[in-house]
Structure 1
Amino acid sequence: MGVNVHIGELVLDGFDGVDPDRVAVAFQAELTRLVEQRGVPLAAWGPRQVDGIADLPPLPATTSPARLGEALARSVHAGLSGRGRSG
């Protein structure tokens, strides 16, 4: 079974000066790794759309695009796994 995650837009407020392209690369790599290693329990319930993910841990105060992208991917994966989900 494959998992297809489409994220229309990510908005990061308060991270001025961080290269968004590098954040996106780190985010995609880490989310791919997490899905391949841990799966996504919600995917076992069949195709579905998650309109929002809430109540996730705060992102680290960092100017490292790699660290920010990885932390963001872990938060999104937690939401997709059923923790911190709304909608």
Structure 2
Amino acid sequence: MGVNRDVRVHVGELVLDGFEHVDRDRLAAAFQAELVRLVGERGIPAEARDVDAVTDLPELPRTNSPARLGEALARAVHAGLTGRGRSA
């Protein structure tokens, strides 16, 4: 039986160049929902508990859909936390 652990991700600042007209609240909601889903289904390694920043994320899709953008961002952050992000 697996151990249920709380995972908290704090996003201090998120800068998305080129996406000035996206609904931030809807983007944030989609990001949170998708990241919760991914962590719940796939987890993250113990080493990710002490990560201060996730860098070298892949490019995000050019879209005006805050839901699509939030989901893509969550997938990119999860990949970065699990060591599967784009290499520098």
Q: TM-score, normalised by structure 2?
A: 0.83
Which amino acid counterpart does residue 18 of structure 1 have in structure 2? V
1:32 equivalent among 27, 36, 40: 36
**Structure 2: any 5+ residue segments left out of the alignment?**
none
Cα contact 1:52–1:85 (8 A) shared by 2: no
Query: Percent identity among equivalent residues?
Result: 70
For 1:52 and 1:70, the matched residues in 2 are separated by: 19
Count of paired positions: 83
CA 1:5–1:63: 2 relative to 1, 3 Å: same
How large is the Cα RMSD of the aligned pairs? Answer: 2.0
Cα contact 1:31–1:73 (8 A) shared by 2: yes
1:66 paired with 2:67, answer yes
For 1:17 and 1:45, the matched residues in 2 are separated by: 36
Q: TM-score, normalised by structure 1?
A: 0.84
| 1:48-87 → structure 2 map (5 Å cutoff) | 48=50, 50-84=51-85
- Regions of 4+ moved over 6 Å: none
Give 1:56 shift.
1.9
**Structure 1: any 5+ residue segments left out of the alignment?**
none
